[in-house]
Amino acid sequence: AQTVTQSQPEMSVQEAETVTLSCTYDTSENNYYLFWYKQPPSRQMILVIRQEAYKQQNATENRFSVNFQKAAKSFSLKISDSQLGDTAMYFCAFGGRGSTLGRLYFGRGTQLTVWP
């Protein structure tokens, strides 16, 4: 079974600073996708960034970037120049392409608070 672990239940950062959220996963599949979703107080699940396992280059989306270490099964999210609107619960998710195609497995989330 696929498992996703987020070891930091809560984190806080000052506005304009950089913060890194950790995620590790366990799978026997070789080809898969990894995602970071954010869930602000509005409850809406919003995709932040995605990474395809066969791509060695780390994905970036504006202030958001990932450090994907396939051998270590690690997928951390770096948020640069943090903004108050980044305050949200962040979920790491694994999506397989083999027998688990169609399922997203989520970590338990990291609550990020950005302070002014």
Partner 1 sequence: DTAVSQTPKYLVTQMGNDKSIKCEQNLGHDTMYWYKQDSKKFLKIMFSYNNKELIINETVPNRFSPKSPDKAHLNLHINSLELGDSAVYFCASSQVLSGGGYNEQFFGPGTRLTVL
Binding site for partner 1 (CB under 8 A): 31, 33, 35, 37, 39, 42-47, 50, 52, 89, 91, 95, 97-98, 101-104, 106, 108-109
Residue 57's Cβ-count burial label (10 Å; 0-12, 13-18, 19+) is exposed
In whole angstroms, the minimum distance from the beta carbon of 104 to partner 1 comes to 6
Looking at the DSSP bridge assignments, the partners of residue 90 are: 38, 110
Nearer to partner 1, 47 or 84 (CB): 47
| Separation of alpha carbons 58 and 49, rounded Å | 10
Nearer to partner 1, 15 or 108 (CB): 108
Cβ closest to partner 1, residue 16 vs residue 47: 47
> In this structure, are residues 16 and 82 in contact, taking their beta carbons and an 8 Å threshold?
yes
